[in-house]
Structures are given as structure tokens and as C-alpha cells.
Amino acid sequence: MNRAIILFSLLLTFVLTSQAQRPSLPTALHNTTIDSQFYYIQILSKSQGGFKLIRPTNVEIVRSSVRDTLSKLNKEIVEIKSENELQKNQLTSSQDSITTLSSALSKEKERVDNISFLGINFSKGSYHTFVWTIIIALALAVTFLLSSFKRAKSTSTEEKKHREEIEEEMQQLRKKSLEKEQKLKRQLLDEQLKRNG
């Protein structure tokens, strides 16, 4: 008898445990995919005259599950669209900032590569050529002026020397002419004295 009670309690425990581990079909309808739910409905339905009879509660469970899945998928679609729109806006903003930066970079390159001189924009190469041309022209002008100054100075020194020589000759000529004049006056006086005397 003890043995029978133990055997009965073991059998009862086994049956209850197996029942508890295996979900009932309506519970399985709630916790599975839509495809599995249709499969379970087909299993749960009864056949009568070539038609399958489905309980309205099972159809309602599947409908609710389909509605929830569609709602969830619609939310995901809306989220994906909003993320996509946000990414498009960010991409447009990035492209705008790239365009702005590119134009600013080209303006800066142009500003760096160009030099304004006397209100005229020159490229660096043209500016350097222009400046070196001016420097060479000024150097040639200074060289010409220095050589002209040297020539003028040597000419004026020679002229001064020549003038001094001429003045000295003039002084000597005056002296000689004065001496001649005095000599002639004495001779004239002597002649007059001889005639008078």
C-alpha cells in the first residue's frame, strides 16, 4: 500500500510536471511568431465537411498579435524614416559646410597667392618679377647717377684747374702788360725830357 501511494504520487508528480512544462496551445499562440500562430490555429481547428472551424478567441489572439506586430513594425519604420531624415539633414548640413569651407579655402588661397600693390592685385610670381624689375631699374639709375656725378666732378675739377691756370696766365699777362706800360711810359717820359731838355 505504501508502495502504491508512492507510485501514485510519483505518477501524479510526473503528469503535473510534464503539463506545467508544456505550454497550452492558447498560451503558445501568445508567445510565438505569426507563422507559428497560424500553424497552431490549424492544429487547434476542427474539420467539418472539408472546412476548418477556428474558435473566435484563437482568431482574436492571432489578430491581436498581428496588430501588435504591425504596430511595432510601423513604429520601427517611422523611427528608421526619422533617422534617415536626420541623417539626410546632417549630410546636407555637412555638404553645405564643406561647400562653405571650400569657398573660404579658395578665397584664402587666392588672398595668400595674390599681393595688392598700388591697388592692383598681382600673383606672387608677377609681383616678385615686378619688384625685382624696379630694384634693377633703380640700381641702374643709381649707377648712372653716380657715374654722371663722378664725371661731372672730374670735369669741374679739371675746369677749375684750367680756370686757375688761365687766371694765373692772365695775372702774368697783366703784370707783363703793366710792366710794358710802365716801361713805355718811362721811355715816353725820357723821350719827352730829351726833347724838352
Using pLDDT thresholds of 50, 70 and 90, give the confidence band for residue 19: very low
Section 149-157 average pLDDT: 90
Q: Where is 116: in which H helix or E strand?
A: strand 114-117
Q: Tell me 31's DSSP state.
A: S
Section 84-105 average pLDDT: 93
Model pLDDT for residues 101-145, shown as the tens digit of each residue: 999 988 888 777 777 767 777 787 888 888 899 999 999 999 999
Q: Indicate the average pLDDT of the chain.
A: 82
Section 66-85 average pLDDT: 92
Q: Tell me 49's DSSP state.
A: T
Rounded alpha-carbon distances, angstroms, from residue 150 to 157, 162, 163, 164? 10, 18, 19, 21
The Cα 93–Cα 160 span in angstroms is 86
Q: Where are the domains of the chain?
A: 2-113, 118-196
Cα Rg of the chain (Å, integer): 65
pTM of full prediction above 0.85 = no
Name the pairing type of β-strands 114-117 and 51-53. unpaired
Rounded alpha-carbon distances, angstroms, from residue 100 to 88, 109, 111, 113, 138? 18, 14, 16, 20, 45
Identify the pLDDT of residue 31.
67
Section 55-61 average pLDDT: 81
